[in-house]
Structure 1
Amino acid sequence: MKSSHQPSQSWPLVAGLPGAQETIYSFFSPSFVTLSYFSFFFSLNPFSRFDYFKSLKMKLDTSGFETSMPMIGFGSSSDMLDGFSTVPSFDLPRTTDFDGFQKEAVQMVKPAKGTTTLAFIFKEGVMVAADSRASMGGYISSQSVKKIIEINPYMLGTMAGGAADCQFWHRNLGIKCRLHELANKRRISVSGASKLLANMLYSYRGMGLSVGTMIAGWDETGPGLYYVDNEGGRLKGDRFSVGSGSPYAYGVLDSGYKFDMTVAEASELARRSIYHATFRDGASGGVASVYHVGPKGWTKLSGDDVGELHYHYYPVAPATAEQVMEEAAAE
């Protein structure tokens, strides 16, 4: 005897049973269907369960879940979950071999980068200097790039490597340092800020980032200087130079460095080191900017065109009219 009830087609559940197919309609509640399904499953012996799994063909449709579930990461709509994210969430490369992916990406893009940045600690604080040239291979794209980035009033970061990577991660670090200050009612230390940046970059190691930065600042312990790279490496030191012009800058910096220098002497050493690097390195040039970080914060001391600095360090005596005429006659 057939039932006169017409089953609704709005919620069918099809379960593939071994040797048969049964359709269960919505006049059963979902809880009843689930209970019946598990009762049937656990009534089978282990071998029958295995055969059942082999014959069962079910597809899980997750479309629409992404709009209803809160996302944990950068840009999350849930304020409560924002604190769980330490770094922004990006799509990962479609590969499991990140080291191989990075090598292949470098070969495909073949970036040619160049810059000169330096920083050193002396008795009055930290001196930071950099050039301002941006290049794309052999093409000079800009002569006025700001390579010393203000993280907060007491901390600076330098930029070497990919311009976009350095600018983004310094901006992100500045946000997190400010949040730390608001939450703890005190400024973050230079060591803490550099460690925070190293942890963020370590999360994206092997994914093609190009960052070589120095974090310089003044905190409760005094001056601090750290070098951080795109693999999450972190070094503490009293003087660093980063970039393609760093070998030339190190030659001047190491020969003239003294801890007990005055601000004027340290500024001149930093400016002269940047100039000599730009004179020998074709990827460095533009303006030599010099900053000082002390107990009252950072200040910009100078920004000189390296072309003018050449005549400052190597003055050329103007030739008289008689000398010009004599040289012309000799030719």
Structure 2
Amino acid sequence: MSYERLVTGATAVGIRVDSGVVLGAERRISYGGYIVSRAGRKVFKIGNRMAMAAAGLVGDMQTLHRILNAEIMYRELVTSLKVSVRAAAKLLSAILYSYKLMPFISEIIFGGYDEEGYHLYVLDPVGSVIEDDYAAVGTGAPIAIGIIEAEYRKDLSLENAADLAIRAIKAAISRDAVSGDGIDIITISKDGINEKSVLL
């Protein structure tokens, strides 16, 4: 009996600097060697202060985004208080852990802004949560993280951090056959969320 490994492919990165958070991912959706779409979205806004970038199965990413968005909106409506980024990351962790017997096939980078400042978390498919200054997930992560590590500084401007994220994803795309076809970037600052797309 033989088992074929299903490689979904993706590269997503996150960078936290003094002036904000950057999340980005490429757009190619592939299963094994087959490209399903060149216009997939793997970066998602959550409210007006948080976002997530993901690698893995696109349906799982979309479902997690919908569940988390609804939960945060409900909690803020009921309590009349803004959910902190740490609390939102812990909530996402609990959601992931509750499905550990049939896990969501997604690695997630989650970031945002609250009254404590800027935060960036990395979560695996069963809910472990690690806060960090920068991260990369997906099949292109080993290449992307090398680019970020070589140039990261906490005092980078948000614009320079976004450029670094784009360069890291471009480097991954050049070496990872299942990543490609454009880049989506979200920047989060105290002024809100900005989105942009880079065509390749």
Q: TM-score range by the shorter chain?
A: over 0.9
State whether structure 2 residue 173 is matched by structure 1 residue 304.
Answer: no
> Do the aligned residues in 1 keep the contact of 2:96 with 2:103 (CA within 8 Å)?
no
1:119-141 deviation line (CA, Å, top 9, x unaligned):
01101110111100000110011
* Shift, 1:264, TM fit: 2.3
Aligned to 2:104: 209
User: Aligned pair count?
Assistant: 200
State TM-score, norm by structure 2: 0.95
1:175 corresponds to which of 70, 82, 104: 70
Taking the aligned partners of 1:264 and 1:232, their CA distance within structure 2 comes to 31
* Shift, 1:209, TM fit: 2.6
Aligned to 1:125: 20
Aligned to 1:143: 38
Q: Which residues of 2 match residues 53-92 of structure 1 at below 5 A?
A: none
Aligned to 1:115: 10
Q: Which residues of 2 match residues 186-197 of structure 1 at below 5 A?
A: 186-197=81-92
Taking the aligned partners of 1:269 and 1:162, their CA distance within structure 2 comes to 25
Structure 1 vs Structure 2 CA RMSD = 1.6
Taking the aligned partners of 2:129 and 2:30, their CA distance within structure 1 comes to 26
- Structure 1: runs of 5 or more not aligned: 1-106, 307-331
The letter of the residue matching 2:155 is: D
The letter of the residue matching 2:137 is: V
Taking the aligned partners of 1:232 and 1:122, their CA distance within structure 2 comes to 24
Aligned to 1:236: 131
The 4+ residue runs of structure 1 with deviation greater than 3 A are 107-110
Taking the aligned partners of 1:195 and 1:232, their CA distance within structure 2 comes to 8
Taking the aligned partners of 2:197 and 2:37, their CA distance within structure 1 comes to 16
> Do the aligned residues in 1 keep the contact of 2:25 with 2:169 (CA within 8 Å)?
yes
* Shift, 1:263, TM fit: 2.3
1:270 corresponds to which of 145, 158, 165: 165
Is the strand fraction higher in 1 or 2?
2
* Shift, 1:110, TM fit: 3.3
The letter of the residue matching 1:225 is: L
Aligned to 1:184: 79
> Do the aligned residues in 2 keep the contact of 1:215 with 1:225 (CA within 8 Å)?
yes
Report the 3-state secondary structure (helix = DSSP H, G, I; strand = E; otherwise coil) of the residue aligned with 1:242: strand
- Structure 2: runs of 5 or more not aligned: none
Q: Which residues of 2 match residues 30-69 of structure 1 at below 5 A?
A: none
1:246-297 deviation line (CA, Å, top 9, x unaligned):
1110111110111111122112111111111101110100111222100122
RCO (CA 8 Å, sep 6+): is it higher in 1 or 2?
A: 2
> Do the aligned residues in 1 keep the contact of 2:21 with 2:158 (CA within 8 Å)?
no
State TM-score, norm by structure 1: 0.58
The letter of the residue matching 1:188 is: V
> Do the aligned residues in 2 keep the contact of 1:155 with 1:297 (CA within 8 Å)?
no
* Shift, 1:208, TM fit: 4.3
> Do the aligned residues in 2 keep the contact of 1:154 with 1:296 (CA within 8 Å)?
no
1:20-52 deviation line (CA, Å, top 9, x unaligned):
xxxxxxxxxxxxxxxxxxxxxxxxxxxxxxxxx
* Shift, 1:108, TM fit: 5.5
* Shift, 1:113, TM fit: 1.5
Taking the aligned partners of 2:104 and 2:44, their CA distance within structure 1 comes to 18
Is the helix fraction higher in 1 or 2?
1
Aligned to 1:261: 156
Query: In terms of Rg, which structure is larger?
Result: 1
